[in-house]
């Protein structure tokens, strides 16, 4: 057992002894409801001396000075100093305070005043122990190992790191703004199944589970798209869902197996309409949540008052000499000529695009970038451009070098949709990706045969959007409980 673990174990033993003292005194260390006059932040914002104040929170510091004690008490809204004197609370009650530790929850009742240094303080007349902390709070959080600990014990991270709390407060405000924005435009928030009989709506390897009563395999959704478009068929013309989706793939600073997406569908709109909606949404929430349209992300400034468009087809031609008109063999030859390794004898065009996709992504700039003119193979659910059927009417939005959003004019031709599904199915069989065998969602095709209005669809990665707006380097910094590798047994001891 390491010295650190031995020291922590001794501190826990001491705190358990204090818990026994509290219990033997007749007090209850885990109290119930406690009425306060305000939160600490509100009290300090409107602070005046000589007022009665009843607050509750976690003890973050203890300073003993003979027959008096200072406590720093912190709640969600702020922190304040409490001053306890033996002759005010009685000798017995003051002696009881020897059982108090940093990390405990306490409620205090007293009068406000300012110290000689101007520090807002409560002179305590009464106090109540509300929860005894049996584990000591960490003094320092630094180094890679402690970063992992922060993610695993997010509850402790939130206690000691105010900047972390600010990120998740901002995340909550961002999601709330999104709802208000869409609700104000007449969109209806809906819910679609998280367990689906077949994975669809996006590329990705799904998680599989089994329903015992029905004796069928189900898949955690990788996207809600096909269900949301069924609602367009049913006459719900403007819908959105802030959804949890899942992909059984790798973990990185940009990827978590469980993630949050916003998906929006609007009948009688198109890709251009979704582009305008995205600009208005992102710019508005930056103003509302951050108070500015100029944000900083990882050392760069991003100006949300300027939105650029870049052609993916042009980037492919400039960087690789590839055009959508080229045949399959030409693509492979041109890529190999530029040092791109293409493995396998029977590689589909879709697989080739996946190989070069990261290479042609626009680099981090000082403004958001819409990448348009995507190749038809990249999206089996999007309409093609009428002036070039080899390109789709689609965009991907990049901010800070990351893909944040994806949108397109939705394909509503059932015959064309089934043809695309068959092409995608054939490509997946050639790639032998190891994913579950795909089948065509015949019910979705049948839904389209009833008639779906022309529509625009938009997907925004909430986690990545929050990363950019809060200047967070890793997706794990914006997910309260990210997926992590299991700890070694010796670390759990």
Instruction: Supply the DSSP string of 299-359, one letter for each residue.
Output: TEEEETT--EEEEHHHHHHHHH---TTS-HHHHHHHHHHTT----SSS--HHHHHHHHHHH
Give the per-residue pLDDT at 140: 58
Give the per-residue pLDDT at 163: 93
CATH number for the domain formed by residue range(s) 156-492: 3.30.930.10
Quickly tell me which residue has 């790191």 as its tokens: 161
What average pLDDT score do residues 358-376 get?
A: 78
Q: Which of 127-141, 176-190, 272-286, 447-461 has the lowest mean pLDDT?
A: 127-141
What average pLDDT score do residues 27-42 get?
A: 96
Confidence of residue 437 (pLDDT cuts 50, 70, 90): low
81: enclosing H helix or E strand: strand 79-85
Higher pLDDT, 486 or 432: 486
Q: Which of 160-174, 221-235, 332-346, 424-438 has the lowest mean pLDDT?
A: 424-438
pLDDT at 363 over 80: no
How far apart are the two ends of the chain, measured CA to CA in Å? Answer: 9
CA-based radius of gyration for the chain: 29
pLDDT at 134 over 80: yes
Quickly tell me which residue has 């818990």 as its tokens: 19
Q: Which of 362-366, 472-476, 481-485 has the lowest mean pLDDT?
A: 362-366
Q: Count of CB atoms within 10 A of residue 70's CB?
A: 16
Quickly tell me which residue has 């004690």 as its tokens: 69
Confidence of residue 359 (pLDDT cuts 50, 70, 90): low
**CA–CA gap between residue 149 and residue 314 (Å, rounded):** 45
**CA–CA gap between residue 442 and residue 135 (Å, rounded):** 56
**CA–CA gap between residue 424 and residue 438 (Å, rounded):** 9
Q: Which residues of 1-40 are buried (b: 16+ CB within 10 A; e: fewer)?
A: eeeeeeeeeeeeeebeebbeebeeeeeebebeeeebeebb
Give the per-residue pLDDT at 377: 80
Reading the block at residue 161, the tokens are: 């790191």
Give the per-residue pLDDT at 493: 38
Q: Where are the domains of the chain?
A: 3-131, 156-492
CATH topology of domain 3-131: OB fold (Dihydrolipoamide Acetyltransferase, E2P) (2.40.50)
Instruction: Supply the DSSP string of 165-188, one letter for each residue.
Output: HHHHHHHHHHHHHHHHHHHHTT-E
Q: What is the mean pLDDT of the chain?
A: 90
Fold: same for 3-131 and 156-492: no
In the chain, % of residues over pLDDT 70: 89
Confidence of residue 80 (pLDDT cuts 50, 70, 90): very high
Q: Which of 161-170, 228-237, 332-341, 379-388 has the lowest mean pLDDT?
A: 332-341
Confidence of residue 391 (pLDDT cuts 50, 70, 90): very high
**CA–CA gap between residue 392 and residue 239 (Å, rounded):** 23
What average pLDDT score do residues 379-407 get?
A: 91
Are 302 and 295 within 8 A, CB to CB? Answer: yes
Confidence of residue 326 (pLDDT cuts 50, 70, 90): confident
What average pLDDT score do residues 388-398 get?
A: 93
pLDDT at 266 over 80: yes
Q: What residues have CB less than 8 Å from 118, skipping those under 6 apart?
A: none
What average pLDDT score do residues 53-79 get?
A: 97
pLDDT at 489 over 70: no
pLDDT at 281 over 90: yes
pLDDT at 425 over 90: no
What average pLDDT score do residues 377-382 get?
A: 84
Are 62 and 47 within 8 A, CB to CB? Answer: no
Reading the block at residue 183, the tokens are: 């609700």
């Amino acid at each position: 057992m390491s010295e650190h673990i031995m020291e922590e174990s001794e501190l826990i033993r001491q705190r358990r002894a204090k818990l026994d003292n509290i219990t033997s005194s007749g007090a209850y260390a885990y109290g119930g409801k406690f009425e306060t006059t305000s939160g600490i932040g509100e009290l300090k914002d409107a602070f005046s001396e000589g007022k009665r104040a009843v607050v509750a929170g976690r003890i973050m510091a203890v300073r003993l000075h003979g027959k008096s004690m200072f406590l720093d008490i912190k709640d969600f809204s702020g922190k304040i100093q409490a001053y306890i004197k033996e002759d005010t609370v009685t000798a017995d009650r003051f002696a009881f305070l020897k059982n108090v530790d940093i990390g405990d929850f306490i409620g205090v009742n007293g009068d406000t005043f300012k110290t000689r240094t101007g520090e807002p303080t409560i002179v305590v007349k009464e106090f109540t122990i509300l929860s005894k902390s049996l584990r000591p709070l960490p003094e320092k959080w630094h180094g890679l190992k402690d970063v992992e600990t922060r993610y695993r014990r997010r509850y402790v991270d939130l206690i000691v790191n105010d900047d972390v709390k600010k990120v998740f407060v901002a995340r909550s405000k961002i999601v709330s703004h999104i709802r208000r924005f869409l609700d104000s435009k007449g969109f209806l928030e809906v819910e679609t199944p998280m367990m689906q009989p077949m994975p669809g709506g996006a590329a990705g390897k799904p998680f599989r589970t089994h329903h015992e009563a029905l004796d069928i395999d189900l898949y955690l959704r990788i996207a809600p798209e096909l269900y949301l478009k069924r609602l367009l068929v049913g006459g719900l013309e403007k819908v959105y869902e802030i959804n949890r989706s899942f992909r059984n793939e790798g973990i990185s600073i940009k990827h978590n197996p469980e993630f949050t997406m916003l998906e929006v569908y609007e009948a009688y709109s198109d890709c251009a309409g979704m582009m305008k909606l995205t600009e208005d949404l992102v710019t508005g929430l930056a103003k509302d949540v951050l108070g500015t349209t100029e944000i900083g992300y990882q050392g760069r400034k991003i100006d949300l008052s300027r939105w650029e468009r870049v052609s993916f087809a042009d980037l492919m031609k400039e960087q690789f000499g590839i055009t959508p008109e080229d045949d399959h063999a030409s693509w492979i030859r041109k890529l190999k000529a530029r040092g791109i390794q293409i493995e396998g004898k029977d590689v589909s065009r879709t697989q080739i695009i996946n190989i070069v996709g990261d290479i042609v992504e626009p680099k981090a700039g000082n403004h958001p970038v819409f990448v348009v003119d995507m190749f038809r193979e990249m999206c089996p659910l999007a309409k093609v451009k009428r002036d070039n059927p080899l390109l789709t009417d689609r965009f991907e939005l990049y901010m800070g070098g990351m893909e944040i959003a994806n949108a397109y004019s939705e394909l509503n031709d059932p015959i064309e949709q089934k043809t695309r599904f068959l092409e995608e199915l054939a490509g997946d069989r050639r790639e032998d990706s190891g994913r579950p065998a795909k089948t065509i969602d015949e019910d979705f095709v049948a839904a389209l045969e009833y008639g779906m209005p022309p529509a625009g669809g938009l997907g925004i990665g909430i986690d990545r959007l929050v990363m950019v707006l809060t200047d967070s380097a890793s997706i794990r910094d914006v997910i309260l409980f990210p997926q992590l590798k299991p700890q070694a047994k010796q670390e759990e001891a």
